[in-house]
Amino acid sequence: MCLSIPSQITRIDRSRNVATVDTMGVAREASLDLIDQSVDVGDYVLIHIGFAMNKIDEADALQSLEAYREIIAMMEEEELQHLITQSDRCTGRGEDA
């Protein structure tokens, strides 16, 4: 399964037809060779295997990013709960105690 997280264009190199995008704080390059819409710095795009595929509405992008943040927060909370549960089983004593 492939998730396409909205990415905001932060820079465009027209000579290479490549955009630098910000994907939830991670900068990466994406080719603009396959997108059939004009894009500018500040636009949001969906990327698949290194290619910008679609330009998306900012409101939709922000709503989607918030949903991803909520999922990540829940995953982190579940992992924290797992670690707490595991540590509750550890007495810190040797096996013969």
The SS3 call for residue 45 is strand
Residue 34 lies in a domain: yes
Residue 39 lies in a domain: yes
Per-residue pLDDT tens over the stretch 17-66: 999 999 999 999 999 999 999 999 999 999 988 999 999 999 999 999 99
Rounded CA separation 79/74 (Å): 9
CATH number at residue 38: 2.30.30.140
Rounded CA separation 31/34 (Å): 7
Q: Which H helix or E strand runs over 69?
A: helix 58-88
Residue 12 lies in a domain: yes
- Burial code (b: 16+ CB inside 10 Å, e: under 16) for 34-52 equals ebeeebeeebbbbbeeeeb
In the chain, how many domains are there? 1
Confidence of residue 97 (pLDDT cuts 50, 70, 90): very low
Residue 49 lies in a domain: yes
Residue 86 lies in a domain: no
Q: pTM for this structure?
A: 0.75
Residue 89 has a pLDDT of: 56
Residue 59 has a pLDDT of: 97
